[in-house]
């Protein structure tokens, strides 16, 4: 598929007509100097679509953005890191609305044309006294070629920023897709503390864009897992402004297929980069299940294996422990026949017909010792197949996640992050 698009530079401002800006507001820590407040906007009218966390506890910005995407013509996305604005009640909702109203005013847009996203600690009020005064600088700073600073501003425990852009031809016209994302902890299928923004200058109507986004998310972000947790704030928002000048992409056409493939590629690359940069992750593991009774059964098996703490611990220890893999297969609730299960690790048979394969332990261990490897599980029943992208579980992950809330709450009490 790589022939249909070409990787280019520029991230979310690579597509025509998109501008961005990022500033330092000190959201989490007033003394910090890192970028933590960003804005993406289309210079022309555009259509927008998004998918959000399925967690029933949703952050205030998620609720606000869902409404704006449904009812408004979203043209801008405001985003902060350092505070999730989740479990903050009526005040949190009010804060999110105030942000969209103020930024909308400065952009000469309606409040409902501004989407908003937040990522960071749950349960603390937004430091509006530090955020509001930055809106002028943010809006005045909007320009082309600044995509990377947005990718940087949305980072939390990420160790590197993530962005990608590609160009492809649709009906003889060159169109571009740009994206940036952040991940780190709480990454799980069904969306996580994960933000991804995608822009394109292709012309696409709202209904078609929604279906492009849903398909691409199902194919990418819903197939990654780091720790089996799911955040209150996950959001994928895509803007399409048609600035490339081509005709609208119509559903079911060859062009639609081509665009969908490119978008899937963009989102899958972003999704994989989140796993690779997961909190204290040392391995990128592809779990591929085939031969299941159904697609859903294959998915159940892949999720059980990719989320098993014991399996993930063994990967961290370079241990090709297929026994733990098969025990997770067994409790996945999928239909399996033990005596038919084959497990290959990095292409080498570790388990055949539910039993230990004749294989060199050194060779198997070498596979698991790599930075990236594939676990292939064949149930040998029918045609159901599913792939999930996962990671190991390290002692450092646990250590890293032992304390967060108490520290910040205490810091706030101590006046360190006082509003």
Q: Which residues from 25-84 bind a copy of itself, rule CB under 8 A?
A: 54-58, 84
**Of 30 and 330, CB closest to a copy of itself:** 330
Say how many residues touch a copy of itself, by CB under 8 A.
75
Question: How far apart, in whole angstroms, are the C-alpha atoms of residue 47 and residue 94?
Answer: 25
Minimum distance, C-beta of residue 312 to a copy of itself, in the bound complex (Å): 8
Instruction: Give 405's contacts (C-beta < 8 A, 6+ positions apart).
Output: 121, 122, 123
- Min dist CB 389 to a copy of itself, Å, is 17
- Closest CB to a copy of itself among 245 and 353? 353
- Nearest-approach distance from CB 334 to a copy of itself, in angstroms: 8
CB of 53 to a copy of itself, least distance (A): 8
- Minimum CB distance to a copy of itself, residue 229 (Å): 5
Q: In the set 144, 330, 374, 387, which binds a copy of itself (CB under 8 A)?
A: 330
Q: Identify the residue among 365, 370, 418, 419 touching a copy of itself (CB under 8 A).
A: 365
* Minimum CB distance to a copy of itself smaller for 47 or for 124: 124
Residues 240-299, interacting with a copy of itself (CB under 8 A): none
For residues 399-416, one letter each, b for 16 or more C-beta atoms within 10 angstroms of the residue's C-beta and e for the rest, the string is: eeeeeeeeebeeebeeee
Find out whether 351 and 336 touch, Cβ atoms under 8 Å: no
Q: How far apart are CA 254 and CA 256, in angstroms?
A: 5
Q: Taking the alpha carbons of 376, 381, 387, 392 in that order, is the dihedral positive or negative?
A: negative
Of the pair 185, 246, the CB lying nearest a copy of itself is at 185
- Tell me the closest approach of the beta carbon of residue 379 to a copy of itself, in angstroms: 11
Quote the longest CA-to-CA distance of the chain: 69
Q: Where are the alpha helices (DSSP H) in 36-127?
A: 60-71, 89-107
Q: Which stretch binds a copy of itself (CB under 8 A): 1-9, 17-25, 130-138, 398-406?
A: 398-406
Nearest alpha carbon to residue 47 among 111, 101, 113, 98: 113
* Selected binder of a copy of itself within 31, 108, 339, 371 (CB under 8 A): 339
Question: Closest CB to a copy of itself among 296 and 309?
Answer: 309
Does residue 310 interact with a copy of itself by CB under 8 A? yes
Nearer to a copy of itself, 7 or 407 (CB): 407
State the minimum distance, in angstroms, from the CB of residue 219 to a copy of itself.
Answer: 21
Q: Establish whether 53 is a catalytic residue.
A: no
The DSSP output letter for 58 is -
Is 397 a binding residue for a copy of itself by CB under 8 A? The answer is yes
Q: What is the 3-state secondary structure (H, E, C) of 354-372?
A: CEECCCCHHHHHHHHHCCE
Please tell me the distance from the alpha carbon of residue 297 to that of residue 305, in angstroms, as a whole number.
12
Is residue 316 near a copy of itself by the rule CB under 8 A? yes
Say if residues 379 and 289 touch (Cβ distance below 8 Å): yes
Q: Which residues contact 285 (CB under 8 A, 6 or more apart)?
A: 306, 315, 372, 373, 374, 375, 389, 390, 391, 392
Q: Does 403 bind a copy of itself (CB under 8 A)?
A: yes
For 208, phi then psi, to 5°, come to -65, -40
Choice from 320, 346, 381, 388 touching a copy of itself (CB under 8 A): 320
Tokens 């947790």 label which residue? 229
For residue 88, state whether it binds a copy of itself (rule: CB under 8 A). yes
Q: Pattern of binders to a copy of itself over 344-363, x per CB under 8 A?
A: -------x-xxxx----x--
**Does the protein bind a copy of itself through residue 371 (CB under 8 A)?**
no
- Give, in order, the Cα–Cα distances in Å from 381 to each of 289, 290, 335: 11, 9, 9
- Nearer CB in complex with a copy of itself: 241/314: 314
- Beta bridge mates, 239: 48, 199
State phi, psi for 364 to the nearest 5 degrees.
-65, -45
| Cβ–Cβ < 8 Å for 134, 37 | yes
* 409 interacts with a copy of itself by CB under 8 A: yes
- The Cα 73–Cα 71 span in angstroms is 7
Q: What are phi and psi of 380, to 5 degrees?
A: 55, 40
Cα dihedral sign, 353-359-363-364: positive
Task: Give the per-residue contact string, 123-152, with a copy of itself (x = CB under 8 A; - = no).
Answer: xx----------------------------
Active-site residue, selected from the candidate residues 13, 193, 200, 225 = 193
Q: How far apart are CA 201 and CA 120, in angstroms?
A: 30
> Which lies closer to a copy of itself via its Cβ, residue 13 or residue 332?
332
By CB under 8 A, the residues from 212 to 241 that bind a copy of itself are 227-232
The footprint of a copy of itself on residues 161-200 (CB under 8 A) is: 185-186, 190
- Catalytic residues, by residue number, are 193
């Amino acid at each position: 598929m790589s022939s249909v698009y070409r990787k280019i530079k520029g991230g979310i401002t690579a597509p025509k007509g998109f501008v961005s800006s990022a500033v330092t507001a000190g959201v989490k820590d007033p003394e910090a100097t890192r970028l933590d407040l960003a804005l993406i906007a289309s210079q022309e009218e555009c259509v927008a679509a998004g998918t959000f966390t399925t967690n029933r506890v949703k952050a205030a910005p998620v609720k606000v953005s869902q409404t704006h995407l449904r009812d408004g013509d979203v043209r801008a996305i405001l985003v902060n890191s350092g505070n999730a604005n989740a479990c903050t009640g009526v005040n949190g909702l009010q804060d999110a609305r105030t942000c969209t109203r103020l930024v909308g005013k400065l952009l000469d847009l309606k409040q409902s044309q501004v989407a908003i996203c937040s990522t960071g600690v749950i349960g603390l009020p937004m430091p509006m006294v530090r955020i509001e005064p930055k809106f002028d600088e943010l809006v005045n700073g909007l320009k082309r070629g600044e995509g990377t600073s947005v990718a940087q501003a949305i980072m939390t425990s990420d160790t590197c920023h993530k962005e990608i852009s590609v160009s492809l031809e649709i009906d003889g016209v060159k169109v571009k897709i740009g994206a940036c994302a952040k991940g780190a902890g709480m990454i799980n299928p069904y969306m996580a503390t994960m933000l991804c923004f995608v822009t394109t200058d292709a012309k696409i109507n709202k209904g078609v864009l929604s279906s492009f986004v849903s398909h691409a998310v199902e194919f990418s972000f819903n197939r990654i897992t780091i720790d089996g947790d799911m955040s209150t704030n996950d959001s994928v928002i895509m803007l399409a402004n048609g600035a490339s000048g081509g005709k609208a992409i119509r559903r079911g056409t060859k062009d639609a297929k081509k665009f969908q493939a490119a978008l899937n590629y963009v989102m899958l690359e972003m999704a994989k980069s989140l796993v690779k940069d997961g909190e204290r992750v040392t391995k990128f593991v592809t779990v591929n299940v085939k031969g299941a009774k159904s697609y859903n059964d294959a998915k159940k098996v892949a999720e059980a294996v990719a989320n098993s703490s014991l399996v993930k611990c063994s990967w961290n220890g370079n241990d090709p422990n297929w026994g733990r893999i098969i025990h997770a297969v067994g409790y996945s609730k999928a239909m399996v026949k033990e005596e038919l299960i084959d497990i290959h690790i990095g292409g080498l048979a570790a388990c055949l017909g539910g039993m230990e394969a004749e294989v060199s332990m050194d060779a198997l261990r070498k596979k698991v010792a790599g930075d990236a490897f594939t676990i292939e599980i064949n149930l040998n029943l029918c045609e159901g197949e599913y792939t999930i992208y996962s990671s190991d579980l390290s002692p450092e992950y646990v250590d890293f996640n032992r304390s967060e809330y108490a520290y910040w709450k205490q810091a706030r009490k101590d006046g360190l992050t006082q509003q």
